[in-house]
Structure 1
Amino acid sequence: MFLLFGLFSCDRSRIFEEYRALDSKTWNVQDTISFEFPYPIEDGETILGIRYNQDYEYRNLYVRYFLKDSLGNNIENQLLEIPLFESTSGKPIGKGYGSTFTKYDTIPLVTQEKFHSIQFLQYMRIDDLVGIEAVGVKKVKR
């Protein structure tokens, strides 16, 4: 029975996945959240994961990402809008239990260049975003 559970819990499409927990479940405007990939990393979809709770006061989250090559040069950056709560009902969007939820969103990469790292900044024009517990990124095979 235990082995069967282990087989179903494996995700063979995952190339990379990592999360960074935020102190006090708050994302400060000056906090850069960075992830470094093993280089070179396989091609695939890049997915942003936002773990949040019901203390988050807004419907959406604006995040800017920066892709960097192996020398640390910026090769792409873009502003993303991530909806976290339904606009009509106010229900959380994403998977979760209790008061914590995770919303996954594919990052629409423009570049075809290989990148070595990705950085995220919150762009909500608020110093401290309460209710953001963690930010993660995963790379999956197409």
Structure 2
Amino acid sequence: MKKTGLLLALCGLLAACQKDRIFEEYKGMNSSEWKIQDTVRFQPVVEGEKFAVVLGVKYNNDYDYRNLYVRYTIQDSLGQTIDSKLMDVPLFESASGKPLGKGFGSTFTKYDTLPISQAFTTIELLQYMRVDTLQGIEAVGVKVVKK
């Protein structure tokens, strides 16, 4: 009986957490490499209510830099660019080199809120690190949650 009650409470908690999420998707990189010409595209169709957009970067110890420059571009339903910004996402501490994301072993995930406040239907991500191929980036994703 205790196990059933605990299981029901856990399911209720998980269902409650899901209500705030409008959209969440991650796209993995081939061979943990993000090539400069690879545009990562998501189509969450966000409109109406207040929301926050969160960028997720899954990386490992093969990543050679302290941070990641990512350019995001958002578009409306007609494909018109609404906004485009370059973001600096810190992945390792400057002094110690310790990973800033959460994870275990040699893989970590770092989340950073994007400064987006208007409705959009498409978001595109590009790596802007001035190298053709970034080693150690396993996946990138976007999560949209209600505020």
Query: TM-score, structure 2 length as denominator?
Result: 0.89
Residue 7 of structure 1: how far off its partner (Å): 3.0
Aligned residues: 140
Q: Which runs of 5+ in 2 are unaligned?
A: 1-5
Residue 68 of structure 1: how far off its partner (Å): 0.3
Encode CA deviations 1:53-110: one digit per residue, 9 max, x unaligned: 111010000000000000111010000000000001100001111111110000012x
Counterpart of 2:57 in structure 1 is 50
8 Å contact kept, 2:101–2:109: yes
Encode CA deviations 1:30-69: one digit per residue, 9 max, x unaligned: 0000000135464301010000011101000000000000
Query: Which of 130, 133, 137 lines up with 2:138 in the alignment?
Result: 133
Between 61-70 and 6-15, report the one with greater CA deviation: 6-15
Counterparts of 1:92-107 in structure 2, within 5 Å, are 92-107=99-114
Query: TM-score, structure 1 length as denominator?
Result: 0.92
Q: Which runs of 5+ in 1 are unaligned?
A: none
One-letter amino acid matched to 2:11: G
1:25 and 2:32 equivalent? yes
Counterpart of 1:37 in structure 2 is 44
RMSD between aligned residues: 1.5
- Shift of the 141–48 alpha-carbon distance from structure 1 to 2, 3 Å rule, reads same
8 Å contact kept, 2:47–2:118: no
Distance (Å, rounded) in 2 between the aligned partners of 1:16 and 1:7:
20
- State which structure, 1 or 2, has the greater radius of gyration over its C-alpha atoms: 2
Distance (Å, rounded) in 2 between the aligned partners of 1:97 and 1:45:
27
8 Å contact kept, 1:18–1:137: yes
